[in-house]
Amino acid sequence: MANHTIISNPKGFKTAVLRLIIYSALIYLLAEFLKWNVQHEAVSNKFSEDSAVEYVQSLLLLLCSIVFLYSSIKYKPIFPLSFALFAFMMASLIREQDAFLDQHVYDGAWQTGAFGLLLLATLLVYRKKELFFSNLNNFVHQFSFGILLSGIVTTYVFARLYGRKVFWMAVMEAQYARDVKNVSEESLELFGYALIFIASVEFYLFANAKNREIELKTHQGQTSFPISA
C-alpha cells in the first residue's frame, strides 16, 4: 500500500500573499491616478487622446513589450513564444500612437509598423513552429497565461463592447454625456493593460524558472525538451 506523506510548507501561501499585496497596490495606484486625472485635467482634455490616461496606457504597453523582448533575448528556449508576445504588445503600442504617426509621419504609418512587426513575428514563429507549440502547450497551464488572457479579453473585447455609444445612450437617455462614456471605457482599458503588465512579469518569472530547470537537467546529464509539458 502506498504511503502518502503530506508536507506542510507555507512557502506557496507566502508567495500568494506577496503577489496579492504587490498587485493590489498597483491597481490601487492606478485607481488613485484616475481620480487625480479627473480632478486636475481640463474638461476638454479628460480621457482624450492627449490625456495622461492615454500616456499611462502607452507606458504600460511599452513596459510589457520590454519584458517580453528581454525574455526572448535572455531565454532562447522560449524565444518563439516570447517574441510573438512582444510583437503583439508592440503592435498594440504602435496602434495607440495612430494619431501621432498619421500626423507626423504619414497617413497609415501605424498600419505599416504594426502589421509589419506582426508579419515578422509570424515568419519567425513559423520557422520555429515546433518549439513555439511546445512553449505554448506548457504556457497555457501557467498562472501568467490566465492573467494575460484576462487582460486581453478585458482590453480588446469587453472594453470595446462596453464603450459602445448605443449602450451608453440607452443608459443615460436624454442625459447622455460622451465624457462619461469615455471615462468609463478608458478606465476599463487601463485596468486591462495593468493585467497584461502583471502577466508579463509573471511570464518572466515563469521563463526564468524553466530556464533554471533546463540548466539543472543539463548539468545532471539528463535529456529534456525545452519548455515542454
* pLDDT tens per residue, range 12-25: 788 889 999 999 99
Q: What angle do CA 36, 39, 44 make, to 5 degrees?
A: 115
pLDDT at position 229 over 50: no
pLDDT at position 224 over 50: no
Q: Residues 43-96: pLDDT tens digits?
A: 655 666 677 888 899 999 999 999 999 999 999 889 999 999 999 999 999 988
Q: Residues 101-137: pLDDT tens digits?
A: 777 778 878 888 889 999 999 999 999 999 999 999 9
Please give the backbone phi and psi of residue 39, each rounded to the nearest 5 degrees, phi first.
Answer: -80, -30
Q: Residues 151-175: pLDDT tens digits?
A: 999 999 999 998 888 888 888 888 8
Q: For 107, which DSSP code?
A: T
Supply the pTM of this predicted model.
0.85
SS3 138: helix
Which pLDDT does position 42 carry in this prediction? 64
Provide the grid cell at 15: 508567495
pLDDT at position 143 over 50: yes
Element (H, E) at 29: helix 11-40
* CA 143, chain centre distance (Å): 13
Identify the residue whose cell numbers are 518572466.
204
Higher pLDDT, 194 or 37: 194
Domain locations in the chain as residue ranges: 54-211
Provide the grid cell at 148: 494575460
- The CA-atom distances, in angstroms, between 19 and each of 46, 76, 79, 139, 210 are 32, 27, 26, 19, 19
Taken in order 217, 222, 223, 224, the sign of the CA dihedral is: negative
Minimal CA–CA distance to 92: which of 76, 73, 126, 68? Answer: 68
Least confident of 94-103, 188-197, 210-219: 210-219
CB 138 within 8 A of CB 214: no
Dist. CA 190–CA 163, nearest whole Å: 13
Q: Write down the number of H helices and E strands in the chain.
A: 10, 0
pLDDT at position 144 over 70: yes
**From the CA atom positions of the chain, what is the Rg in Å?**
21
Which pLDDT does position 64 carry in this prediction? 96
Minimal CA–CA distance to 211: which of 84, 76, 89? Answer: 76
